Structure formats: C-alpha cells, structure tokens
Structure 1
C-alpha cells in the first residue's frame, strides 16, 4: 500500500520542527496570505492535492481556498479551550474536519500516513476456507456460503473450533482491521485468536492477539499491527460453553486507525448478524443534487466509482455491500435494510435536501440497490445500468441457463427467500416487485441502460417498463447489444453522460 501523503501547513511560521513526521509525509508550508492563490495553483498542478491540511490556529484566509479542501483532510491542532468563531467551526463541520489536542499531536502525526493514505483494500476468508474440529460438535450444517452452523458441548475451557486454512500477510507498517460475521447462543463464549509467524520461518511465533470483548462490542476494532517485521497471520476461533454458533466470513482490511473504514472518512453499520453496509460521503459543494451510488459486485472490498462520482462535482454518497463473495444485492434482514435507509436519510438531512434533490444510481448489482430503495425516497431520478430486478430468476438461470457462472445468486436467494426451490424463486422476484409497485413514482424519472441479451436477468428492463408503464412516468431507455458483462465500458459512458444531462437540465449545473 502506498502511504506517501502530502501535508499542507498554513501558518505565519513554518513549524515542521515541532512534529516528529514519518518519512512518507511531504510537508508543504504557505503563509495565510497565500491561501487565495492555492486553488489556482492546485488546478495548474503547481501544488499537489493534499491528503492533510494542517492549521494550528483559526485563520480567516482559509475560506478563500475552501473549494480545494477535500473532506476529512482539514486538521486543526491546538491547545484545549481555545475559542473558535462560529464561521470557522462551520467550515470544519462542512469539510468533515478533525480537531486534535496539541498535547496528543506527536502521537497523532506519528501514524499520519496510515490514517490519511488515499488507498483502500479489503478481502475476506470464506466459509469454504474453514477447518472445523469435530471433537465437541454434534451437528454441523452449511447455510450455503453465508455461514456454518455448529452445535455442541464445547466444555468449560477454551478449545479451538474453527481454523482458517490460509494465512494473511501482515506487512511492516500496514495495520489490519478484522471483522467476523457470527451469531451465537448466549450460553456459548467465543474469542478470535490471531498468531503471527515471521515470514520465511516454520514456527517462529512473533506475537499473539486474543479478541474477546471486541467481538462482543461492534464499536470496538479488532486491530493487528506488525512488530517491525513482515509476518503471516494465522486465525482460529476458540469456544467454550454449550449451544449453537453460526460463523460467516472473516474480513480483513487495511486500517485507517479509527479515521475511517476502508477509506479515510468511511463508515459502517451492521445488523444483529454482523452483516455490514459500508458508506462514504463527500459533501463537495453542498449544492443539489445528492448522488447516491450503490457499488456493484466486488470480490475485493471497497467503494466503487469514487473518481467518477468525484468528477461530477456534486455531493455524493457511496454505498458498498461486503457480504458473501462480492455482495448480497443490498437486501437482507429488516434491520439491515433500515440501516441503509438511515444512512441515506441522515445524509439528506446533513445537506438539508429533499427527495426531489436526490438521485439514486448503480450498475449491475448496484442497480438492484438503487431501484429497491427508490420507493423509500421517491427520488428525482433513478439512473441504472444493466438492471437486475428478478433475483429469483437470476438464481434459476444459474441452474438452467448459466451453470457455474454466478453461484452467489443461489446464496442471495436463500438469504432473502429462505431457500432455492420454485416457491422461493417466485418469492425472490416478488419481494422486489411488491415493494417497487407500492410506490407513487409520479415525480421520479428512470434512466435505464440495459443489455439486450442479458444472461443474468433476461427480462429485467422489460419488466421495469411493464411495471412502470401504467403510471405517468418518464423512462429513458438505452439498449446495447450483448450479454450482461459484454460492454461495461459502454454502459459506464452512458451512465456518466446521463448524470451530466440531468445536472444541466434539472439542476442548472455543469459537470466535468
């Protein structure tokens, strides 16, 4: 991971000698009088973009460069109990900035690269990568690839129940965050044991982490850090007590050390089964519309289309579904779906926007999210590419028309409908359409790019038109020749052009 970052210090004096800075941090100093010139210098690439903009006092000239301050990059480091103007506090809030106590400065700056690096990466170890000890287990069942259910009398002492088959590298200076999907009976206690072995050795144990309380409290982070050398991590789940435990994916991600999930500023919510929805909000110029983008199917965890949405210039919210192999189509338990709605609703409230200042969007799996949650917000427009609406039919096609092409569709169907038989196939379709048909879309426009020979959802576009046509609704359709994954580049170009058109025609704004 590239941890090199640029820091812009604004102040009357250059105070870099005050801080202990890692070698990955490049320090740039300007005086307050130069703030007005910075936007032009950044646009002309005389100055780089800055991951961190550091102030040590309130500087009124900072407002002159507000347009080039990225969210989550503004850091005010000063002594406690310093009075700040309402206007300056407002700027910190608008830019999602951070206020750091001067007494904690050196500890904060020592790990600055890990907190503010621009990359993102996450992955997971799946249920088919578990080795299960049968010593105490009387019953084992697999809920597809979602989780493994185990019941038994595990005894009064800690015993290893699950060992993950593969090791994960832990590189020097690259901390990892862990997240385990699980549910269990209260009579069962669990803890995650992580052992690091020095790379290249057979059994030279470097360090061991034991996470117990962190598993119980979703607000606590399971964090593993190197001990100065590259190591390999081995994972096992220990249990004691008597009852049932269900274990799903074990996620690991490059950590921002409390300053965001996957990206600096990223956040997450989860339901009772520890199934997550992750989000990233960039307020941009805080002018309508808010553009919500649901990420598509991704085996590597992270946010999709960041650069594309950033280039549009309007406030945007990225959502990603890290469940199963590459996502579970943003549908799940009632609590899970309420979390997604709460994220969108709170973002609208933050901006002071209404549903008519909202655009929901997504491509492929992301189209399902945009369409499925459109009845909850009645947005101004829904923009989707390669729509997937009939989740039951997609699973049916896995057996009869596309064997081995997308087996995750069976897990998705089982998760939302309880099985993969004929009744569940119908139910998987009906769950979407019953909700979709309940909405009054009289003030919503739909822009849909579809593949004419789509082999995932063969009738997705046709069904959307049929369900919307009885109502007075505007639909913009664009058909392209090919199967589902044959012309993604063409769909993306259409997708961007549709946003630009809506911006110009409906919100009086231009976009790059």
Structure 2
C-alpha cells in the first residue's frame, strides 16, 4: 500500500495527540515557518492531504502552490484562536481549494480514513454487456440490445435464482476499497441481488470475502483488507417482470472524497446513467474553462493538465457510458444534470456566460456545442467537431467499416432502432436544437479534418445552418481522416484558447 503524505500546519503537532496510520507520512510545520526550503529539507515532493489548525497570511503563498483543491481541511481552531475570518486573502484561499471543516471530535476518525481516501493511483473497469454470461436457463429468452443492455422478461420465481455473471473480475489491492455501480433497470415485481466474491490472488476456488447488495440504489462498496485478489460478480433475481442490465462500473473508491480525483463527482439519473465532473476554482478569477472529454475506453477525465496549466478555474466533464461515451445525450434528467454541473460551478464563482469558455475534441466537441447553446459562453473551441451523430452511425457501413461500432449502439440507444431513417431523425433532432441557439455573443473556433470519415459535414453544416445570423464562426481544415494528425489539432485548439485568454481576459503569460 502506497505511502500518503499529510502536511499539517498549525501551532501543535497533531501526530503527538492522535494515532497516525502506519502508511501515512505526517509532516508537521509550525504556522509562520512554512517555506520552500523547509519542505525541501523534509524531502516533501507531493502532498496528498493538508490539515490546517492555525494559519498566518505568510503561509499562504506556498500553500496556494502546493495544496491541491479538495485536499485541504481546517479544524475549528482556525476560527476559534484568531480573527482569520476577517482576512480576505485567507478566506479566498479556503474557497479556492474547496476547503472542508473538521470538528475536533472527528479528527481521529478522519486521520484514520486518510489512507483509504487520498492516494494517487485509481483503478477502474468498465464491464460491458458482451462480457456477461447468462445462465443457461435464460439464454433462449435473453435479448441483447446491441451493447446497450441485456434484457430478460420472465417469472424468475419466488426465491432468488442465478441469472448472470461477469466473465472477468476487478483486481483488488490490499486495503483499497472498491465501488461497483450497475446501469440496471427492473420492472414489475423483479428484485435483484448482486454477489461479490473476492478470490485469493492466484486461486480459483478460495473465497476470502463475500458481499451482497439487494436492489442497490447507491454504489456498492467492497471494503479492502490485507489480502489482495480478484472480485468476481454474479447476479440473482426473483419476481416477475423485466430485468435490463447495462454496463457495470468498477472503481477504486475514495470513500466520499471523490470519483477518480479528490473532488470528482458522479451524478446519476433515474436510469442509473452517470455524468462525471471535476471542478477546480483555481484563483477564482474569470474565465471558467470547461472541457468535455472525448471518447474514452478508460474511465476518467481528460484535459486536466492542459486546463490546470492555464491557471484559470476549470471544469472537466466526462461521459462513462457505453464503450467510451454516449455523446452527453440521454434522458431529460441526464441532460439537466450536465447543465446543472456547469451552472453550479458558475454560481460558485459568481460568473455569467460571458466569463465562460467551453471546449471539446471529437465526442467532447458535441458536448461543448450542445450545452453551449444553454450557457451562451464567450467562446467555444472545437477540435475534430462531430455534430451529426446519425451520420456517424451511417458511415459505419461503407465509409468507415467497423471503425466506430459504438455509433450504432448510440443510434439504437437514442432512437430505438438502427436504420437510415433513424439516423436522419437523430440528425434532425440535434439541428432542431442548434438552429434556435443564440450564439450572437459567442465566438466559435473549430479545427476540422478535411476528409473526416466520422462527420465530414459538421463544420460545413455549422456555416450553412447559421448563415445570416450574427454568429462569429471560423475554422481551420487539416488534411486527414478523423483520427489522423491529432497533434496538429491540439496545437491549433490550444492556440485559440491562449489567444482568447490573452485578448479578452489578459490572462495568458508567454
């Protein structure tokens, strides 16, 4: 189990008062004496968690540099022993780091939990329906809805009976907790029970731990212990009606401190479909940079270092559904969740649309435009734009054979069938929304592939649909198909960001 470094700044060393877990390196520096030289002498390279129980203004500059958002905690002594609340710089520091208060009576339990919450490596596994084995009894009536879900309609009986299991499991590290979240729906009187069994590392028959979850409405937690191994999953059901099972998500769990990053958030709709987000207020000054992740087979976020290096507040948004994302489209509630994530960040910063920049590459470009119509940001930056999702699916047959089969799953998910008419309907629905968008206060910059084999008409369609409107849309074409020359796309993409930051917000430093 990796060592976690905790920095404590205050007037009294808490490690002398509380029990510190064995794999926590506790670094105490007295308030007012925090310097780079001090940290260097103590060989502190990375700080996973910071606790402050007393602070002076002279501590701020180094803490701002070293402390990551969502990893700063302050005890009640901070306010009891000083009038620090009157110091605007200190209060802004707490706000910029999303600092969280700790009561003295909860310090021991918090310190004990640190190794299970603040660590670097996060493992995740998206187990799709193609990796599900249906029990022999139900194989003839199970219906595969593409890779969206497996659907079984039956009377499963009065007692729980085995229905399916997942062909491979999730690796479990020592003392690392795991969370499992399934995109499942039941109708009628159907009830389900998930069974998680951890097998000893290298064994196929020695079960060291078992956890069950009945009709879960929250992520299922599997508590790690001193033994590593593999967690295998199976499902039982009872009652009569419909069972629909989609993707199963397995992740290293931070026990309330965030998804993937400390501060990462998973927001779910009634169909148990997630949108992931991570908000970092940075220096609290405009603009808020929003980046929608592209298609990702590995779950998590994209663009973290790019946006962090810009020095502005930023928001990362990711779609973990299907094989690598579902273009941020879904139920009314799902799309409202995406919009709310954005508006919550804006409200925290007290920003309006003119202080927001939105962006995305490939699949992420769709999210930037689609939700940009609601936010009306200062600018939208698009790399390899994709807007005609129906066309992307149609191109799977002849233009790009087997190049992006998930596009067919997405068409089925959104339209209920895979056909040319369904693809055209989907395109029309999207442009019906975009045609009434007001981008009169928004600058839209797109770098597109001239021989794009996913959606060659995305950029031309923007020009065609918005001709005659007071929109500023411009772009640069690069020779190649959709997945070619990504370096050139990213370079132009970032250059536009830099230009707007410098010209409109005086933020960019050469």
Q: Distance in 2 between matches of 1:346 and 1:480?
A: 36
User: Once the 2 structures are TM-superposed, how far is the Cα of residue 169 of structure 1 from its aligned partner?
Assistant: 1.6
- Decide whether the 8 Å contact of 1:311 with 1:511 is kept in 2: no
The residue aligned with 2:368 is 370
User: Once the 2 structures are TM-superposed, how far is the Cα of residue 289 of structure 1 from its aligned partner?
Assistant: 0.7
User: Once the 2 structures are TM-superposed, how far is the Cα of residue 62 of structure 1 from its aligned partner?
Assistant: 4.5
| Deviations, residues 415-474 of structure 1 (Å, cap 9, x unaligned) | 222222121110121122111111121111001111111111122221122223322222
User: Once the 2 structures are TM-superposed, how far is the Cα of residue 7 of structure 1 from its aligned partner?
Assistant: 2.1
The residue aligned with 1:183 is 185
The residue aligned with 1:100 is 102
1:370-449 equivalence runs, <5 A: 370-449=368-447
The alignment yields a C-alpha RMSD, in angstroms, of 2.5
The residue aligned with 1:195 is 197
Q: Residues 45, 422 of structure 1: CA spacing in aligned structure 2 closer, same or farther, 3 A cutoff?
A: farther
Q: Distance in 2 between matches of 1:42 and 1:381?
A: 40
Could you tell me which of 157, 160, 163 is aligned with 2:162? 160
The residue aligned with 1:281 is 279
The residue aligned with 2:112 is 110
**How many residues are aligned here?**
505
Could you tell me which of 41, 49, 60 is aligned with 1:52? 49
SS in 1 for 2:110: helix
The residue aligned with 1:484 is 482
Could you tell me which of 473, 476, 487 is aligned with 1:475? 473
User: Once the 2 structures are TM-superposed, how far is the Cα of residue 224 of structure 1 from its aligned partner?
Assistant: 1.1
- Decide whether the 8 Å contact of 1:372 with 1:436 is kept in 2: yes
SS in 2 for 1:207: strand
- Decide whether the 8 Å contact of 1:79 with 1:103 is kept in 2: no
The residue aligned with 1:507 is 505
SS in 2 for 1:399: coil
1:249-328 equivalence runs, <5 A: 249-328=247-326
Could you tell me which of 453, 456, 464 is aligned with 2:454? 456
Range with bigger deviation, 427-436 or 102-111: 102-111
| Deviations, residues 326-383 of structure 1 (Å, cap 9, x unaligned) | 0001011111111101111111111100011111100011001001111111111000
The residue aligned with 1:127 is 129
| Deviations, residues 388-417 of structure 1 (Å, cap 9, x unaligned) | 111011000101111111100001111222
Q: Distance in 2 between matches of 1:44 and 1:318?
A: 35
Q: Residues 511, 323 of structure 1: CA spacing in aligned structure 2 closer, same or farther, 3 A cutoff?
A: farther
Calculate the TM-score normalised by the size of structure 1: 0.92
User: Once the 2 structures are TM-superposed, how far is the Cα of residue 269 of structure 1 from its aligned partner?
Assistant: 0.9
- Decide whether the 8 Å contact of 2:265 with 2:277 is kept in 1: yes
Q: Distance in 1 between matches of 2:454 and 2:413?
A: 18
Q: Residues 379, 365 of structure 1: CA spacing in aligned structure 2 closer, same or farther, 3 A cutoff?
A: same
Could you tell me which of 132, 144, 147 is aligned with 1:145? 147
Q: Distance in 2 between matches of 1:424 and 1:131?
A: 30
Q: Distance in 1 between matches of 2:79 and 2:502?
A: 46
- Decide whether the 8 Å contact of 1:288 with 1:507 is kept in 2: yes
Q: Residues 150, 484 of structure 1: CA spacing in aligned structure 2 closer, same or farther, 3 A cutoff?
A: same
User: Once the 2 structures are TM-superposed, how far is the Cα of residue 25 of structure 1 from its aligned partner?
Assistant: 3.1
Q: Distance in 2 between matches of 1:80 and 1:440?
A: 47
The residue aligned with 2:16 is 17
Q: Residues 281, 42 of structure 1: CA spacing in aligned structure 2 closer, same or farther, 3 A cutoff?
A: farther
1:339-378 equivalence runs, <5 A: 339-378=337-376
User: Once the 2 structures are TM-superposed, how far is the Cα of residue 12 of structure 1 from its aligned partner?
Assistant: 2.6
Q: Which runs of 5+ in 1 are unaligned?
A: none
The residue aligned with 1:224 is 222
- Decide whether the 8 Å contact of 1:368 with 1:389 is kept in 2: yes
User: Once the 2 structures are TM-superposed, how far is the Cα of residue 172 of structure 1 from its aligned partner?
Assistant: 1.0
The residue aligned with 2:214 is 212
The residue aligned with 1:8 is 7
- Decide whether the 8 Å contact of 1:136 with 1:153 is kept in 2: no
Q: Residues 359, 41 of structure 1: CA spacing in aligned structure 2 closer, same or farther, 3 A cutoff?
A: farther
User: Once the 2 structures are TM-superposed, how far is the Cα of residue 236 of structure 1 from its aligned partner?
Assistant: 0.7
Q: Distance in 1 between matches of 2:418 and 2:203?
A: 46
Q: Residues 442, 182 of structure 1: CA spacing in aligned structure 2 closer, same or farther, 3 A cutoff?
A: same
Range with bigger deviation, 227-236 or 394-403: 227-236
The residue aligned with 1:33 is 32
- Decide whether the 8 Å contact of 1:364 with 1:386 is kept in 2: yes
- Decide whether the 8 Å contact of 2:192 with 2:237 is kept in 1: yes
Q: Distance in 1 between matches of 2:56 and 2:211?
A: 44
SS in 1 for 2:351: coil
Range with bigger deviation, 199-208 or 334-343: 199-208
Q: Residues 136, 118 of structure 1: CA spacing in aligned structure 2 closer, same or farther, 3 A cutoff?
A: closer
